[in-house]
Structure 1
Amino acid sequence: MKPRFLFVVFALGLLPAGRATAQEVPAAAPARPGPLIVGAYAQAGFIIAHTPRVRHLVSAHPTGLELNVQRQLNGRQPWHAWYRYPRVGLALVYYDYHNPVLGRSYAASVYLNKLFWERRGQQLSFRMGTGVGYFPRRFDRDTNHKNTFVSSRLNATLQLRAEYDVALSPKLGLLMGVALNHYSNGATAKPNLGINIPTLNIGLNFHQQRAFVPLPEGGGEVAGLGKNFLNLSASAGIKQRNESDTRRYWVNSVTVIGGRRVNRKSNLLVGLEGFYDRSLLAEQRDTTAAGRELIDVKKAGVIVGHELLLGRLAFETHLGIYLYNPYKSNNFYYERIGLKYHFTERLFGTLGLKVHRGSADAIEWRLGVKL
C-alpha cells in the first residue's frame, strides 16, 4: 500500500464535517432508516502488468457483473452527519478473465459511498470498499504453475470507484463509473503478486427515494473529545515463505499505543510494538552455514497513526520505523492499514494488513483493550 494512499485517508479524517454538531450517543433511534438504492452494472477493463512475472497473463480483457444494494444514511447515528450523510452498501461482483489460467472470480464487499456533487438529478460520488474474493483456479505447481497472480482461493479485495448517476426518471438512474479493483491474499500463500484491474462501469440504479430529508441533528459535546487513551493489543497471522515451501508460519505482534481524540472524526496515535515472524527462522536455516549461530528475528518499532472514526468502526493507517531489527529481512520502515471494530467501550478487534514498500508482509488478526 503506497504512502500517498495513507495520506489521502488521513486527510479525509481532518476535513471539516460541515454543519454537524451531533453528540456521540443518540438519545433514541428513529423509527425509519434511510432509503435504499439497488443497482446492477456491467464492467469491463484490463489487468495491470505491474511486474514481468505476470505479463503472460494480461492478454485478455476481464468483463464482469455487479449487483449491489446501498442504504442512504439519514442521521440515525451522529457520525452520519459528520460525513454529510454517506451511503453504505453491499456488493456482489463477478469477473470472467477470459483466460483459462485465471478463470473466474466471485467477491462480496461492503463499502462507503460519499456524495461530492449534486445538481438537478445528477450525482457525483466516490466509493471505497473492501471484502472477500473467491478464485476457483489458483496457483498449483503441478496443474496451474503459470498463475502467478493468485495462490489461494480466498483473497481480500479493495475497491475504489468514482460514480456519476443521472436521473432517467424520478426513481431510475443511469450509472457510469471508473474503478480500480485489487485482489490479494496478503502473503498467506505464495506467489502473491495480486491483481489490479481498472474498469469502466455502466448500469442502472433504482432509487427508493432519490431526494431525502435528514433527521434533526442532536446537540452537545462529543464524548472523549480532547481526551487521551491507551490501547493494549496482540495479533496473530499466518504466511507462506515462498512457492517451494508450502508450510504456513505464525506471525505475532504485541502493541502499546497511546492516542488522543482530536476532533469528531479522528484519533491520532503513537506507540511501540514488537514482532516475531517464525518464517524468518526457516529462511535463515536454509541460508546459514552449518554451525553458525542464527540471528535474532524478533523486531521492535515505533509507530505513528491515524483512525478515521465511523461510529463503532474505525479505519486505521499506521507508519512504523524499526528500532530493533538485527535480521535485515526488509526495509527500515513498514505501513499498515486496517479496520477496527469496538465490540464494547473497552474491547476491540482489528483486521489489518502490514506491508513493506507496497509489498504485503502479513494479514494480522488483532484483539485488544482500551484503557
Structure 2
Amino acid sequence: MLKKISLSILFLFISFYLNAQQYDWYLNGQAIKGFILKHNEYVGHLATSHPNGIELSLQQKLNGKKEWENLYNKPLVSYGLSYYNLQNPKLGHLIIGSAAMDLPIKRTENTALYFRIGTGLVYSTNPYDRETNNQNNMISSTITYLLQTRLTYEIKLTDKISLSPNLNITHASNGAQRAPNRGINIITANMGMSYKIKSQEDKDGRDIIPLDKNPYQIYLLITGGRNTRTLQVREPLPFFNLLLYGQKFVNPKSDWGVGLEYFHSYSLKEQIATNWFRIYDEEEITDFKRLGLLIGHELKFGKLGFISQLGVYVYNPSKSNMPVYLRFGLRYQFHKNIMAQVALKTHAATAEQAEIGIGWRF
C-alpha cells in the first residue's frame, strides 16, 4: 500500500503543472550504455557488467506563466519510462518510471546545457532471495526508489528535431524496507533525440503568478513508513517521525531552516532486543527512541520543493548509527497551510528509511 501511495504522490507533485496551461511538447528517445559503480567493497562481485537499455519520455518546455519558471529560465519537465538490461543474471533487468526536471545551465540559439533532478520508482525482475539469489545484495526488493541526475547537451538540428547526448547517474534503493540494502548505482553515457510533437507559441503579457514570499514559516510534519535494519529482523516494521521545523525565506529560489525531530522505529527496537551482544547483558535494554537537530535547504519550483537536510542525533542511547544523518526528498504545498512530503533518510551512503508524510504550516 505504501508503495502505491508513494508512486501516486511522486508523479502527482509535478503533474499538477500539466493542467495549468499549454506548453511545447517533445517526444524524446535515448539509447543507454554504461557500467555499474562499485560504491563499497560488499558489491564488488556484482559491479562487473556493462548495462544497456532504452528510454522513452514526454517532455514539456515551461513557458514562463509562473514566476518560478522564469527564475529557472524555462526548464523542461520530463515523464519517462526506461528499460535497463544489467547484463548479469544475478541482477536481472530494471524497468523505471520517472519524473524529472531539466534545469538550463546555458542556452544559445541552437544549443543548450541542462542539469537534471529526477525521481520515481524502479521494478526489478530478479531481486535478492535468501534461497535462490542470495548474492544479489544490491537490489533486495521488487520495487525500489529512484534518484537520478543527468547532464544533457542539446543540439538543435531543425525546428522540430534535436540531438541530446548526456551523462547520467541512476541510483536505486529500497529505502531499507528489506535487507540487504546496498543499492545500485549505474553510470551511463546516453545518446538521445527529441522531436517536437506539439507547439505553443510564447505570448507576451501573461499573468505572472507570484511566489509565496512569507519571510518566516513554521511547519509541523509527521512522516512514516516501514523498514527493516538487519537480516535477522527480516519483516519490515513501522516507524514514524515528528518534526518541528522553522524556515526562513532567502530568495525566490531558496529557503533555509532548522528543526527538532523525534524518531520512533519499531525495527530499531526489535534490532536492540535481538542483538546477541546484549543477551547476557545484565543492564536493561537500551532505549530505542532518538532525537535529532537538523538544518535544511529547500530549492523551490513554485509549490514544489526539493529538500536537503543535515541532522545530528542529540539523544541516541542505542548508538545504532553514526551520529549524523541526511535527508533528500520532495515537498508539495497543496494549500497555504497543508503540505505533503516524500523523502529518503540516510546515514552516509546507507539508506535507513523511505518516508511519506503530511504537514501543517502555521
2:301 counterpart letter in structure 1: L
| Stretch of structure 1 that moved more, 138-147 or 290-299 | 290-299
Match for residue 279 of structure 2 among 289, 296, 299: 289
1:271 counterpart letter in structure 2: G
CA distance in 2, matches of 1:31, 1:357: 39
Shift of residue 293, structure 1, vs aligned partner: 0.7
Deviations 1:55-105, CA, capped at 9 Å, x for gaps: 222232100100011101012222111211111110111000111111111
Q: Are the aligned partners of 2:31 and 2:192 in contact in 1 as well (CA < 8 Å)? A: yes
Partner of residue 39, structure 2:
50
Deviations 1:201-243, CA, capped at 9 Å, x for gaps: 11211134799646446579754342x2211121112111222
1:313 counterpart letter in structure 2: L
How many residues are aligned here?
342
Match for residue 364 of structure 1 among 321, 343, 355: 355
The two structures, once aligned, show a CA RMSD in angstroms of 2.2
Match for residue 72 of structure 1 among 34, 57, 61: 61
Match for residue 83 of structure 1 among 58, 72, 80: 72
Structure 2 unmatched runs, 5+: 1-17
What are the equivalent positions in structure 2 for 1:162-181 lying under 5 Å apart?
162-181=151-170
Structure 1 unmatched runs, 5+: 1-28
Q: Does 1:39 align with 2:25?
A: no
Q: Does 1:232 align with 2:220?
A: yes
Shift of residue 362, structure 1, vs aligned partner: 0.7
2:357 counterpart letter in structure 1: R
**Counterpart of 1:79 in 2: which secondary structure?**
helix
CA distance in 2, matches of 1:241, 1:120: 52
Match for residue 276 of structure 1 among 235, 257, 264: 264
Q: Does 1:267 align with 2:258?
A: no
Change (3 A) 1:143 1:347: same
1:174 counterpart letter in structure 2: L
**Counterpart of 1:46 in 2: which secondary structure?**
strand
What are the equivalent positions in structure 2 for 1:338-349 lying under 5 Å apart?
338-349=329-340
Partner of residue 243, structure 1:
231
Partner of residue 350, structure 1:
341
CA distance in 2, matches of 1:346, 1:136: 41
Match for residue 298 of structure 1 among 261, 279, 289: 289
Q: Are the aligned partners of 1:231 and 1:257 in contact in 2 as well (CA < 8 Å)? A: yes
TM-score, length of structure 2 as denominator length: 0.89
Q: Does 1:149 align with 2:149?
A: no
Q: Are the aligned partners of 1:93 and 1:107 in contact in 2 as well (CA < 8 Å)? A: yes
Q: Are the aligned partners of 2:153 and 2:164 in contact in 1 as well (CA < 8 Å)? A: yes
CA distance in 2, matches of 1:166, 1:210: 18
Residue identity over aligned pairs, in percent, reads 33
Deviations 1:94-127, CA, capped at 9 Å, x for gaps: 0001111111110110000112223342222111
Q: Are the aligned partners of 1:164 and 1:176 in contact in 2 as well (CA < 8 Å)? A: yes
Q: Are the aligned partners of 1:174 and 1:203 in contact in 2 as well (CA < 8 Å)? A: yes
Q: Does 1:257 align with 2:245?
A: yes
| Stretch of structure 1 that moved more, 43-52 or 260-269 | 260-269
Partner of residue 333, structure 1:
324
2:314 counterpart letter in structure 1: L
Deviations 1:225-276, CA, capped at 9 Å, x for gaps: 42x2211121112111222432112221111111122221222211211111
CA distance in 2, matches of 1:219, 1:343: 19
CA distance in 1, matches of 2:21, 2:328: 34
Match for residue 135 of structure 1 among 99, 111, 124: 124
Change (3 A) 1:326 1:91: same
Change (3 A) 1:370 1:202: same
CA distance in 1, matches of 2:25, 2:115: 17
2:159 counterpart letter in structure 1: P
Shift of residue 174, structure 1, vs aligned partner: 1.8
1:66 counterpart letter in structure 2: E
TM-score, length of structure 1 as denominator length: 0.87
Change (3 A) 1:242 1:221: closer
Partner of residue 196, structure 2:
207
Q: Are the aligned partners of 1:337 and 1:352 in contact in 2 as well (CA < 8 Å)? A: yes
Change (3 A) 1:194 1:170: same
| Stretch of structure 1 that moved more, 293-302 or 166-175 | 166-175
Shift of residue 31, structure 1, vs aligned partner: 8.7
